[in-house]
Amino acid sequence: MSFSRSLGRLTTAAGAMIAVRETPTGARPLPATSTDHHPTSSRKSYTNPWPSFHDIGGFLGSGRAIISEWKSKPLPPKDEWVKVIKPTWGLTEQDTAATFGKDIKATWMGHACFLVELPANANEIDTSQETNKLDLPARGTRILFDPVFSHRCSPSQVIGPARLTKAPVELSKLPHVDLVVISHAHYDHLDITTVQSIYARQPKGSVHFFAPLGNKAWFVNNGFKPEHVTELDWWQRRDIALGSDKSTSKESDCTLTCLPAQHFAGRTPFDKNKTLWSSWAVEAAGKKVYFGGDTGLRYVPLGGDETEQPQCPAFAQIGDTFGGFDLAFIPVGAFSPRTAFSSVHASPNDAVIIHKHIKSKRSIAMHWGCWALGDEIFSKDEERVAKACRDAGLDEKVFNTLNIGETLRI
């Protein structure tokens, strides 16, 4: 089979049925699930239970804080924007089923969206196939994190933040995915048109949706069957098995764990923090991947020294629990105005600290280059990440950026 036809098979091959199971006893120990972040009788919403977080107020309060500090800047020339390239999904002309199936493949789709293909279990890789004979490449679980393919990240496609860089492919050209994993309900991370399109184009039961607590009702109210959506609390996990076998006889293909993040959620002025936000970890074939979603590290008051502010302890706890990650996706954009956004949006300097706390071997910057959501010049985050690495004594090759549509293989 030719390389171009092999590449085409990646986007046309049907997905397998998904089995979601409780993780068996004896798996990696996790911290006891706390309810400190849960709603209470006196507080009707979820919260960030750490001194590193500062609530600047509700819809009106946060709006005033942003407007008072916002410093408008002209958009940079288009030739300075992040490049958008056509994805190859990591497939090369030299690949065999064995080489293609053993790696992590992560393609940045823009902003916080990544298509991640995990390594296949060793006993499921057919090593007899020759180079370019990839009729159906051996693969592990395919996960799409926080997909947004709409033009605007807004309740309306008439008003609201508009894309400055396009998605690298049309949604219809995406490979079939097994899991869609959502970090929280903000419009730049959860888009109704995108998730409904994915759900409609794949056979029912061949894609499963994961989100933090409180979000399942939104999916069900928008036409998703309850059995195709799972919501989890921080430090809860599920095993995933691809195939129609719903029993425990088939080996799990991956384990997905919902983890803390320092952020907030909501889709209207009236539902702030009625649903939970999270980061995620996924483990497969001995590899570990971390998805940071949207998060801050520390609140920096106006005129304050950020180095003196308490840092969110969740990331060190995550790093200690998992013993590090082979690959991490960490947000770096929409961090300014700093006083208004610092609690909930990491700066490049914050992101490098998070990288160290979670003990990541290799990290990719995200949450930048697509929509101008902060008042910083959105195209400069590549330079900011490189400088943050240098300032922290970190090799720039360990934590850097991708072009939109580019695939990293590990």
User: Is the confidence at residue 246, as pLDDT, over 90?
Assistant: no
Give residue-wise pLDDT tens across range 285-318.
999 999 999 999 999 998 899 999 999 999 999 9
Residues of the chain with pLDDT > 70: what percent? 88
Structure tokens at 243: 């195939």
d(CA 174, CA 181): 16
- Do the beta carbons of residue 328 and residue 360 sit within 8 Å? yes
Residue located via tokens 């899991």: 179
CATH 3.40.50.2300 fits 84-409, yes or no: no
Q: Where are the domains of the chain?
A: 84-409
d(CA 388, CA 390): 5
Tell me the pLDDT band of 45, cut-offs 50, 70 and 90: very high
- Do the beta carbons of residue 15 and residue 177 sit within 8 Å? yes
Q: What's the average model confidence in pLDDT over 164-178? A: 95
User: Is the confidence at residue 77, as pLDDT, over 60?
Assistant: yes
Tell me the pLDDT band of 99, cut-offs 50, 70 and 90: confident
Structure tokens at 174: 């995406």
Q: Where are the alpha helices (DSSP H) in 163-295?
A: 192-201, 216-221
Structure tokens at 311: 């840092």
- Do the beta carbons of residue 238 and residue 21 sit within 8 Å? yes
Beta bridge partners of 238: 22, 256
Entry pTM: 0.93
Tell me the pLDDT band of 67, cut-offs 50, 70 and 90: low
Question: How far lies 376's CA from each of 69, 265, 369, 372, in Å?
Answer: 12, 22, 11, 8
Give residue-wise pLDDT tens across range 335-382.
999 999 999 999 999 999 999 999 999 999 999 999 999 999 888 899
Element (H, E) at 329: strand 327-331
Task: Count the helix, strand and coil residues of the chain and give each as a percent rounded to the nearest 5.
Answer: 25, 20, 60
Give residue-wise pLDDT tens across range 188-207.
999 999 999 999 999 989 99
